[in-house]
Amino acid sequence: MAETDAESVRTESQAGEELYLSELSPEQLRALIRDTSHVLSTLKAETEMFEKFYKRLDPKELTPTLPSDTMASPQDFNQMRSRRRSKSRSTISERLLSLSVDQKCELVQRELEESKEEAQRDADNLERLFQSYKATMEEAEIRSSETKKAKYEFDRDIGKAAVKIKKGEGVTPEKVLRYMEEKMLARDSLVDKLRLKNAALKIQKKKLQMQLKQKEEMGEVLNEVDFQQLKIENAQFLERIDERNQDLLQLKLTTGDTLQVLNSYKKRLQNTMVESSHLSKEISVRNEILQRIEQETEQVEQERVKAESLNKKLRKQLSDYRVPDVLQYVQGKMEQEELEKTVRAWERKVEIAELSLRTQRRSWEQMKAPNVITEENGYGTTSNWG
């Protein structure tokens, strides 16, 4: 009977929905589709979260019966038949099948706590895995360095000596065995040392475990509230660390800008120093030029003083000069011309005398030459006679 009623309700709801949808305009249909899609996505997310929550539940916590307020009554079915629109029917079905707001909040809270715990577990596992990989890498690096060291020592003590063999001299097997025995003894001593260290660490571990057990017996161990307080303080310290990191990042950015400004000022200072050195050289050159100009100025001043004194003297002479008369000037001019004629005549006479002198010297040399030759021949005959 209940199945027949449910089937009839479903059929009537479908007919009512078709009638309701046929009355809507295209814009209303689009808005209804958009709202329905949003509701479906929300329901899908809630369903996935509820499935995760359901999978985590203990079988003992599962209850086979539904609450009384979620059961459908005949009056509800009669009410569903009397209504025409699907909106009221969907509200009744949602009321029958969905959770309350408090249940949803509790579910979300528990899911959030589980997610945090799972994230913390994953972080702890990753940290342990990272530490394990880090320890493995450190061990591999130590083993690699030890292997390289052993190879270097073997090449130094045995290999090079084996390569540089001279006339039957080489590495003997006894030397190789002795080298290997020394290495084995060193390795055994290292193993003993590590064994003693391991034993000491085990003893220390036992002491710490005993102290922890004594604290637990005496009630000095931290309880859940203390751990929660420590978590809160840790979160606060992490926030402070993040703030300090942000401040540090800001300071680094400021430092970068400051360094850029400092570099620009350094470049400007370098250019200014180069320009200053250039200007210093130019100033020194200008000072030398100025000194030379001052020296030349002093010389010119001295020459000016001399010229002024000479000018004064000449002006004084000019002021004392008296112009002769015209007749005196003409007479002086005539005397000058007579003297010039006399000088020219005497110069002509001198030229004639020099010419006659050269003629007389030439004739004298010609007359002198035969006498010299005769004397030379006479001396030659005398010497032959002797």
Contact criterion met (CB below 8 Å) for 57 and 116? no
Q: Where are the domains of the chain?
A: 2-98
The whole model's pTM is what? 0.33
Looking at residues 21-42, what average pLDDT do you find? 80
Closest by CA to 49, choosing from 7, 110, 101, is: 110
63 in helix, strand or coil? coil
**Of 138-142, 237-241, 288-292, 370-374, which range is least confident?**
370-374
More confident residue, 50 or 224: 50
Note the pLDDT tens digit of each residue in 157-183: 776 666 655 545 555 677 778 878 888
Burial of 80 (0-12, 13-18, 19+ CB in 10 A): buried
The type of residue at 335 is: E
Note the pLDDT tens digit of each residue in 215-236: 777 765 556 666 778 788 888 8
Task: Determine the pLDDT at residue 81.
Answer: 44
Rounded Cα gap, residues 234 and 211, in angstroms:
25
Rounded Cα gap, residues 356 and 361, in angstroms:
9
Rounded Cα gap, residues 335 and 332, in angstroms:
5
**Of 29-33, 129-133, 353-357, which range is least confident?**
29-33
The number of beta carbons lying within 10 Å of the beta carbon of residue 381 is: 9
Backbone angles phi, psi at 385, to 5 degrees: -65, -40
More confident residue, 166 or 312: 312
Looking at residues 97-125, what average pLDDT do you find? 80
Task: Determine the pLDDT at residue 344.
Answer: 92
Rounded Cα gap, residues 9 and 3, in angstroms:
10
Task: Determine the pLDDT at residue 99.
Answer: 67
Name the most confidently modeled range: 97-106, 228-237, 286-295, 315-324. Answer: 286-295
Round the average pLDDT of the chain to a whole number and report it. 76
Task: Determine the pLDDT at residue 2.
Answer: 40
DSSP letters of 239-258?
A: HHHHHHHHHHHHHHHHHHHH
Closest by CA to 32, choosing from 101, 80, 86, 81, is: 86
CA distances from 87 to 20, 83, 181, 269 (A): 9, 9, 93, 81
